[in-house]
Structure 1
Amino acid sequence: MALAHRVAGTMPDGDSLYEHPSRGLDHGAWVPLMAMYPLGDIPVLQLGLPTHDPGRLLELGARLAPFLTRAMLTKGEVPTGRCTPLSRAS
């Protein structure tokens, strides 16, 4: 929980922040981790993205960058259900 609280402390005051310590992992995180670490003996901090706005996501990445270390596995994904082709306005 210490890492979760440090990450939460870097978020802007105006952003909503929800902590769910008793909630299990999302299947997008749980399934690959189950295959990679079947004993479940690693700590996991799962974050949800608050927006699809590229500028805000880049800002979020900059805020999270100091937490990345060589001893940390970082996993990201883009849900295929949310990907839509770009189209031009007529």
Structure 2
Amino acid sequence: MAVRDTSIEAYHALIKHREITPRCRQVLEVLIEHGPQADYEIAARLGWHPSQVSARRGDLVNEQNTGIVVFTGSYKPNPLTGKTVRVWRANLGDQPTLL
């Protein structure tokens, strides 16, 4: 899915109004720097518990899957739990320099 103007506008609004928290920003930075990841992978990079990541990532996702972070449509097994989990990616197009 290509980045949409609405997600760019939402991102600008979050930055402008300082509504993106430092922890949300850390999650977003991991996705920008390392590409698509599952929550457990982001957690490992940040030294957090996966539930901390899912809460912050959830702040960046919307129901239409057009937010700053989007579901890639892919899944992978979590080696810690054996469950299949979603893979997420940043949805900023050419905008990551705004961080």
Same-fold call, TM > 0.5? no
Q: Is the radius of gyration larger for structure 1 or structure 2?
A: 1
Query: Which structure has more strand as a fraction of its residues?
Result: 2
Q: Which has the higher helix share?
A: 2
TM-score scaled by structure 1? 0.27
> How high is the TM-score relative to the length of structure 2?
0.25
